Amino acid sequence: MRLLAVILIIAGLIFGISGLFDFVVNSVKFVFYILAILLLIGGIGMMFRRIKS
């Protein structure tokens, strides 16, 4: 019974760590997407300013 509990705890830790890792990776991807969008908006804005002037 104790062995089963240990196995369950270890499995839970492994799943928890992998889930946390996925969460961190997705957060980093999300930040990169926001940066890419901001850079695109900035670049397009600069091009429009050049066209106007």
> What confidence category does residue 29 fall into, taking pLDDT thresholds of 50, 70 and 90?
very high
Is the pLDDT confidence value at 31 over 80? Answer: yes
Domain of 42, in residue numbers: 25-53
Going by C-alpha positions, the residue among 51, 29, 28, 48 that lies closest to residue 40 is 48
Residue with tokens 């890419």: 36
Contacting residues for 43 by C-beta, under 8 A, at least 6 apart: none
Residue at 32 is within a domain: yes
Residue at 37 is within a domain: yes
Residue at 20 is within a domain: no
What is the rounded CA–CA span in Å between residue 51 and residue 43? 12
Pick 51 or 33 by higher pLDDT.
33
Residue at 6 is within a domain: no
Mean pLDDT score of the chain, rounded to an integer?
Answer: 93
Q: What does the pLDDT read at residue 52?
A: 84
Is the pLDDT confidence value at 53 over 80? Answer: no
> What confidence category does residue 47 fall into, taking pLDDT thresholds of 50, 70 and 90?
very high
Handedness of CA 42, 46, 48, 52 (dihedral sign): positive
